[in-house]
Amino acid sequence: MRYSILTFGCRVNQADSLQLEEQLRARGAEPSTAAAADVVFVNTCSVTATADQGARQTIRRIARENPSARIIATGCYATRRPADVEALPNVLKVIPNRSKSDLLDAVEQATPLRFGDGDGPCGALITPGVTGRTAFTFRVQTGCEERCSYCIIPATRGSGRSMALGPVVDEVTRIAAAGFKEIVLTGVHLGSYGRDLQEPSSLLELLRALEAANLDVTFRISSLEPMDCTRDIVEVVAASGGRFAPHFHLPLQHASDRMLAAMRRPYTLDYYRGLIDSIVERLPHASIGSDIIAGFPGESDADFDANLAYLPHSGLSHLHVFPYSDREGTEASALKSKVAGPVIRERGAAVRSIGAELTRRFHEFQRGTVRPGLTLEDGTLVVTDNYLKVRIPAGRQRNERVNVRLVSATQGELLRSINP
């Protein structure tokens, strides 16, 4: 059987798709394009209305270009609106997030197609580059107990669930043995890792266990809620000697305390400012990204001005800006005083402009520095430890560790390989 996997949205979905890819290969299935595949898996996102629309458009396009394809839909949009997805052309089955672990068994029951004659679960390890990815995105937690007023994800992902510490270390060891040199740790609410376990643990304990493992791997920590990024976690990253990449993503969402309270975000701007300042002081070259929502219901001019006052002078290096989108069933969707669409677009553009300037400023600060990195693609693209992507001259293979001097925002000078 030929298969294709199309993934929308966050790193958690990317990790889920990577796991699915490995399971398919282990069963003997052959990767293909969506246009030529027998079965196409669409791993959907539902964080915004635009994400929902993108999933629908993709499924319709696949059915149009490959009329014989059988489409399996999963992910957050498929979980939230299963009847809508089932009604789309060529959709054979909709698998909710809670059943992702049994996805292939459900598909085998629903279709006469055989996956293949693989050697079993250990017979087809994914190696760097096989799926187009050099780093391995590894989900150690899923689900969320927080109730941000705008977010539908807790309803689609369920309560927090963590992989036990021992199995995490075992899986990381297996991933490293397959040749991966960078692992991205991710979760729906990564900072809550371990709280739900029978023997409670924490993200800090997990990081210390991974640091102690004798593995030739660099770890990159995915998005953390600000209240979960403790000074101890920052110190583990800073003191790790490069084992953990100096790269943080800490979603602020808004610089107005009034808006943060309406969003049910459990911190203030002063807390967030102190956190960012402490990271910059301890790790001056760290990349620090953030998310901002533009046009949340009730956002006044004064509220929006708080973004304009804080963001340009913050220690952030890049911004992801999301126009507010009603998610039916959330508290925010029932709020009055919705912001008009043109105003949302105008405010979003203003914050994106600030984000572009923050990125330019960070790139300029990095000019002339030497950073360790990992080669991607054909070996001419490097992602540095602090998440800059620069081109280097040809001559390297994918998945090599190198040191580069940053000549510009897009170009690096190769100094030497640091492969052992």
> Are the C-beta atoms of 40 and 6 separated by less than 8 Å?
yes
Count Cβ atoms below 10 Å from residue 393 Cβ, excluding itself.
Answer: 11
The whole-number average pLDDT for the span 30-55 is 91
Residue 161: which pLDDT band, with cuts at 50, 70 and 90? very high
pLDDT at position 58 is 95
Residue 240 and residue 142 share a domain:
yes
> Are the C-beta atoms of 165 and 205 separated by less than 8 Å?
yes
Residue 239 and residue 257 share a domain:
no
Q: Is the pLDDT of residue 119 over 50?
A: no
Give residues with Cβ within 8 angstroms of 166, minimum separation 6: none
Alpha-carbon dihedral sign for residues 169, 174, 180, 185: negative
179-198 as b/e, with b when 16 or more CB fall inside 10 Å?
A: bbbbbbbbbbbbbbbbeeee
Last residue of a domain, one of 95, 110, 125: 110
pLDDT at position 273 is 98
The whole-number average pLDDT for the span 30-34 is 90
Higher pLDDT, 225 or 121: 225
**Full strand arrangement of the beta sheet holding 401-406:** 389-391, 381-384, 370-376, 401-406, 412-417
Phi, psi of 305 (to 5 degrees): -60, -25
What is each CA distance from 212 to 103, 139, 281, in whole angstroms?
34, 20, 26
Q: Return the H-helix or E-strand segment holding 260.
A: helix 257-262
Residue 148 and residue 72 share a domain:
no
> Are the C-beta atoms of 250 and 227 separated by less than 8 Å?
no
Does residue 118 lie in a domain region? no
Strand-strand pairing, 161-162 and 136-142: antiparallel
Residue 7 and residue 84 share a domain:
yes
Alpha-carbon dihedral sign for residues 246, 205, 101, 330: negative
Task: Note down the domain range covering 151.
Answer: 135-245
Q: Return the H-helix or E-strand segment holding 39.
A: strand 39-44
What is each CA distance from 17 to 4, 10, 32, 294, 358, in whole angstroms?
10, 11, 15, 30, 32
Does residue 130 lie in a domain region? no
Residue 310 and residue 212 share a domain:
no
* Residue 96's CATH number: 3.40.50.12160
* Residue 405's CATH number: 2.40.50
* Residue 331's CATH number: 3.30.750.200
Last residue of a domain, one of 200, 222, 245: 245
The residues that bridge with 288 in the sheet, in sequence order, are 248
Number of domains in the chain: 4
The residues that bridge with 186 in the sheet, in sequence order, are 139
Q: Is the pLDDT of residue 415 over 90?
A: no
pLDDT at position 420 is 45
Q: Is the pLDDT of residue 333 over 70?
A: yes
Q: Is the pLDDT of residue 376 over 70?
A: yes
Residue 319 and residue 278 share a domain:
yes
Q: Is the pLDDT of residue 385 over 90?
A: yes
Residue 306: which pLDDT band, with cuts at 50, 70 and 90? very high
Q: Within a 13 Å sphere around the CA of 347, how many CA atoms are in the beta-carbon half?
A: 25
* Distance between CA atoms of residues 262 and 268, nearest Å: 12
Q: Is the pLDDT of residue 410 over 50?
A: yes
The whole-number average pLDDT for the span 251-279 is 98
Higher pLDDT, 281 or 120: 281
* Distance between CA atoms of residues 378 and 372, nearest Å: 18
pLDDT at position 122 is 40
pLDDT at position 123 is 43
Phi, psi of 351 (to 5 degrees): -70, -35
* Strand ranges inside 336-384, DSSP E: 370-376, 381-384
Residue 85 and residue 44 share a domain:
yes
Last residue of a domain, one of 366, 390, 406: 366
> Are the C-beta atoms of 413 and 380 separated by less than 8 Å?
no
The residues that bridge with 374 in the sheet, in sequence order, are 383, 401
Strand-strand pairing, 381-384 and 389-391: antiparallel
If you average pLDDT over every residue of the chain, what do you get?
91
The whole-number average pLDDT for the span 175-183 is 94
Residue 261 and residue 238 share a domain:
no
* Residue 216's CATH number: 3.30.750.210
The string of pLDDT tens digits covering residues 64-108 is 999 999 999 999 999 999 999 999 999 999 999 888 877 887 777
Q: Is the pLDDT of residue 323 over 70?
A: yes
Residue 45: which pLDDT band, with cuts at 50, 70 and 90? very high
Residue 238 and residue 256 share a domain:
no
Does residue 385 lie in a domain region? yes
Count Cβ atoms below 10 Å from residue 414 Cβ, excluding itself.
Answer: 18
Does residue 115 lie in a domain region? no
Residue 353 and residue 256 share a domain:
yes
Residue 220 and residue 279 share a domain:
no
Count Cβ atoms below 10 Å from residue 148 Cβ, excluding itself.
Answer: 20
Does residue 277 lie in a domain region? yes
Residue 356 and residue 383 share a domain:
no
pLDDT at position 22 is 85
Does residue 127 lie in a domain region? no
Q: Is the pLDDT of residue 349 over 80?
A: yes
